[in-house]
Structure 1
């Protein structure tokens, strides 16, 4: 586990803000904290269905895999992958070329280690607006989708509160949404997006307790 995610938007607000409808609206629930090691689902938009928000289990498994998610995660934690590691593992390399997704969140968590205690920080945008994270996904033999968040190096604005892990999720701005989700986008176009992390202003809130 590196960091947790947050998606506090209600369904109607999410649809209105993103201009995209849900494939399974009954399954959506706002959540202050999403911890991937508990086998959680994320709201995602895939290359296959770029006009719909669907669900993906956080923690990618091999394409057409038939085994247990929990057993696989014990062998290899796949909640996150750094952008520099995408080409070095078949689990991610093929998915980057064929199965990209956008992961919808309103924030993510960072952790600061100070002596013997850890402080949790929730990092969000103004007005707690939803935004997109870069992701890749695979489809299991039974049709379920599993996905990973793509990380990049943390920017300077988070250095003071993110000393436990020096990474952050890679954002995809609206201007690159269509390219990221287009089946015929070239690997050169995708590499360009990965190489130019989107810089944005965050609101940082210390979290004393959460449920």
Structure 2
């Protein structure tokens, strides 16, 4: 369900929030909508190289995979994964054990179904700072990174909006980031995924053009009022 992220934060704000520089700072560009279905890249901090922020293709691929990214994603979409599935699949379980990462964003999107139509909502920190989503990654033979964000149970605030799904990206608080990138056993990881100390989030509905992948404009994230849609309590 979570195929789009937003990252409008400037590079300096991201580096300040995470205390980590970009490895290739000129590559990063703020974007209102990052569409994972279009083979996009995301800023990540990996277990292997926590000293800088790298770029990773969104959509995890297995070791030694050499065919087209779209071919794999059309067969097994790995833009986001639930912990339960990871535990059941060997190569995913290996990534969770040894190849964890922080995926950096400052917003994501969910939807509300009403009267036969879908209405998008933008979810973000109240202070609008960038945050870290728990992720796993893999490095391909050509050196490129691919990643997937992890999905847990929706918060009470999000459940006021979502009526088609009960999940949300696992957002880690500042104290949990080092734990996620450090050494942790399966029980510790399970507890972290089930009880993340995520920052305070707020939400508002936005333009329905979000679902047209060819449309994105400067005011895309601005609030839009729709009659009879829920405004979540915070």
| Structure 1 residue 26 displacement after superposition | 1.1
Separation (CA, whole Å) in 2 of partners of 1:200 and 1:113: 26
Larger CA deviation: 58-67 vs 39-48: 58-67
Where 2:53 maps in the other structure, the secondary structure is: strand
Separation (CA, whole Å) in 2 of partners of 1:194 and 1:54: 23
| Residue correspondence of structure 1 range 58-207 to structure 2 within 5 A | 58-182=58-182, 184-207=183-206
Q: Which runs of 4+ in 1 moved over 4 A?
A: none
What TM-score comes out, normalization by structure 1 length? 0.94
| Structure 1 residue 139 displacement after superposition | 0.8
Q: Report which structure shows greater RCO (CA 8 Å, sep ≥6).
A: 1
Separation (CA, whole Å) in 1 of partners of 2:138 and 2:62: 6
Structure with the larger helix share: 1
Separation (CA, whole Å) in 1 of partners of 2:16 and 2:171: 20
Bigger Rg over Cα: 2
The match for 1:54 is 54
Structure 2's unaligned 5+ residue stretches are 211-215, 217-234
Larger CA deviation: 2-11 vs 34-43: 2-11
Separation (CA, whole Å) in 1 of partners of 2:192 and 2:168: 15
Structure 1's unaligned 5+ residue stretches are none
User: How many positions carry a matched residue from both structures?
Assistant: 210
What TM-score comes out, normalization by structure 2 length? 0.85
Separation (CA, whole Å) in 1 of partners of 2:115 and 2:89: 36
Confirm or deny: 8 A CA contact 2:104 2:133 kept in the other structure.
yes
| Structure 1 residue 119 displacement after superposition | 0.9
Separation (CA, whole Å) in 1 of partners of 2:29 and 2:191: 34
Separation (CA, whole Å) in 2 of partners of 1:171 and 1:2: 13
Separation (CA, whole Å) in 2 of partners of 1:12 and 1:37: 27
